[in-house]
């Protein structure tokens, strides 16, 4: 298992990072991290997009799900059947979020290990023969932020983008008092707080990755919201207001 992880996750991502560093990033490790993050998100765009779509529509369907629970509160079988019928009607896989996390996990672990070793100078092991090894690594981002240390600026921006992405994912409702609705609004603040705590003790390289990937998620969320508003996802906002 360790060999598969190293061969299919750590080593390819590591080599791409160094390739970007030597070419389009102009020997700026921060820019190389940004380019690597964008490449990952572009490759996995269909998977992430489907997950975002499902999560957004499930948010929109919460009032209907609450109504199903009330209508069939004494019959769990009918409640489950009605819930699954609603999911099928809107072409939703309620387990897509788990797939989203499952795909992300080995990538996140590999990137964490890469960034951690990259900014400490222990990085030139495992390069492909066709990747030129740099003589040294410039661990600054735009000559302003040292990626080996925590950056309050990047931590703050990462938390802010986390809030914006969560805000965009919420349905446009003001009177949703369901449990799911309350939890969704609490996550507006819980998510950014977790981001602050998590990134506060990590190198700025991790914060830069987090900021870039969350900014990309905002872009995806905007696309999904527009499709949703235009009725392209099979559900209209007015149905859940």
Question: Whole-number mean pLDDT of the chain?
Answer: 83
CA 17 to chain centre: 19
Contacts of 57 (CB under 8 A, 6+ apart): 90, 92, 228, 233, 235
Domain with 140 in it: 2-240
What is the domain count for the chain?
1
From residue 224, alpha-carbon distances to 57, 110, 199 in Å are 9, 29, 28
The closest alpha carbon to 241, from 61, 103, 93, belongs to 61
The secondary structure element, H or E, covering residue 141 is strand 140-141
**pLDDT tens per residue across all 241 residues of the chain:** 788 888 989 999 999 999 999 999 999 999 999 999 999 999 988 888 888 788 778 877 888 888 898 899 889 899 999 999 988 888 888 777 677 678 778 888 888 888 877 555 555 677 888 998 888 888 899 999 999 889 999 999 999 999 999 888 876 654 455 555 566 667 788 889 999 999 998 889 999 999 999 999 999 889 888 877 777 665 544 444 4
DSSP 8-class letter at 145:
E
Contacts of 161 (CB under 8 A, 6+ apart): 211, 214, 215, 218
* 13-48 pLDDT, tens digit each: 999 999 999 999 999 999 999 999 999 999 988 888
Report yes or no: 173 and 181 within 8 Å, Cβ to Cβ: yes
């Amino acid at each position: 298992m360790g060999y598969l992880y190293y061969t299919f996750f750590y080593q390819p991502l590591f080599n791409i990072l160094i390739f970007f560093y030597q070419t389009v990033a102009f020997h700026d490790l921060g820019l190389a991290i940004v380019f690597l993050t964008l490449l990952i998100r572009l490759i996995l765009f269909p998977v992430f997009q489907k997950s975002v779509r499902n999560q957004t529509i499930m948010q929109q369907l919460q009032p209907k799900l609450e109504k199903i629970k009330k209508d069939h509160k004494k019959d769990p079988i009918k409640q489950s059947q009605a819930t699954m019928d609603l999911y099928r009607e809107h072409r939703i896989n309620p387990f897509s979020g788990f797939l989203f996390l499952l795909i992300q996990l080995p990538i996140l672990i590999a990137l964490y290990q890469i960034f951690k070793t990259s900014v400490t100078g222990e990085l030139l092991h495992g390069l492909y023969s066709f990747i030129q090894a740099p003589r040294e690594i410039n661990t600054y981002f735009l000559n302003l932020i040292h990626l080996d240390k925590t950056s309050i600026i990047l931590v703050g921006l990462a938390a802010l983008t986390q809030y914006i992405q969560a805000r965009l994912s919420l349905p446009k409702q003001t009177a949703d008092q369901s449990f799911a609705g309350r939890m969704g609004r609490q996550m507006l603040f819980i998510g950014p707080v977790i981001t602050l705590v998590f990134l506060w003790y990590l190198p700025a390289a991790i914060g830069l990755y987090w900021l870039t990937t969350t900014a990309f998620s905002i872009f995806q969320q905007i696309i999904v919201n527009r499709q949703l508003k235009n009725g392209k996802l099979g559900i209209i906002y007015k149905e859940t207001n």
